[in-house]
Amino acid sequence: MTLNTHSWQEEKQLEKLDVVAQAIIEQGCDVVALQEVNQHQNSPAVDANILTNHTVLADNYGYLLQKKLMEYGYHYQLTWDFVHRSYDVYQEGLAFLTRLPIVEHEVIDLSDNYDVNFWKHRRAVRIKVTSQRGDFNLYNCHCGWWSDSESSFEDQFNRIKATLSTELSFLLGDFNNPSHIRNEGYDYVLQCGLIDCYEIAEIKDSGTTVIKNIDGWEQNSQALRIDLVLSNQPMVVKQHQVIFNNDFYPVVSDHFGVLVEVDII
């Protein structure tokens, strides 16, 4: 599953966090990639078993989600990596929750002269997990816009691509490049050899993950598919389904999530 959580910018945030926890459990998610995982800069620190490059604070959305899952009796390992400051008072990051053992963890800077106070500077996170069918990589991505002169999607994605190996890898997240726009970010990803799991899914819906104007898409008035799950190898994708869209679980963010079932051979 991938979801841009828009955390602490939502009404009834804790109720929505509980919806996310229940969905993870009920859908049997092995790996969850979360973007915009925020914590307030003035919150107290917590001592928790979390893979991170930064101090985790008590209201960290990923940490609270992990705790909620544990309350329900489900144990997921958590990573949280700081990306940049947002909304003046928050530390924004990327989080993975996984019940597969993590054997590697890497933070990838997507900008030169990295400045955590500049909201357009971004990072990606790679983890390698091990399963009964072997090891594979997962990338958590929250990228910028194709035409941004300060920090372009093409440059950011090239930095992610440079770390890809021949091992099976999945790239999950908010790519901020609509799939219907030709000759921009989405097409560039495919030209780089990545496979969109939506396109090869045996069962799928519209794939739409944004339906209104949101942060970064203030002038938007159409349905967009910008939250993606990509693979570097062909495989069987049994199902690709939008989640948290009021048809399949209540809305919990300004993005809908994506739930993908793959058969790793």
Q: What is the pLDDT of residue 120?
A: 84
Looking at the domain covering 2-263, what would its CATH class be?
alpha beta
Q: What is the pLDDT of residue 80?
A: 98
Q: What is the pLDDT of residue 213?
A: 58
The upper half-sphere exposure of residue 22, i.e. CA atoms within 13 Å in the direction of its Cβ, equals: 11
Q: What is the pLDDT of residue 172?
A: 98
Q: What is the pLDDT of residue 216?
A: 59
At 109-137, the pLDDT tens digits run 998 888 888 888 899 999 999 998 899 99
What average pLDDT does the chain have? 94
Q: What is the pLDDT of residue 214?
A: 52
- Whether residue 217 is predicted with pLDDT greater than 80 in this model: the reply is no
- What are the structural domain ranges in the chain? 2-263
Confidence of residue 151 (pLDDT cuts 50, 70, 90): confident
Task: State mean pLDDT over 14-19.
Answer: 98
DSSP per-residue letters across 157-175: HHHHHTT--SS-EEEEEE-
At 40-68, the pLDDT tens digits run 999 999 988 899 989 999 999 999 999 99
Q: What is the pLDDT of residue 215?
A: 63
**pTM for this prediction:** 0.95
Task: State mean pLDDT over 141-166.
Answer: 94
Q: Taking a C-beta distance cutoff of 8 angstroms, is the pair 237, 261 a contact?
A: yes
At 80-91, the pLDDT tens digits run 999 999 999 999
* Strand bridging mode 50-52 / 77-86: parallel
Give just the sign of the alpha carbon dihedral 112, 215, 9, 73.
negative
Cα-based distances in Å from 75 to 99, 142, 213, 262: 7, 25, 36, 22
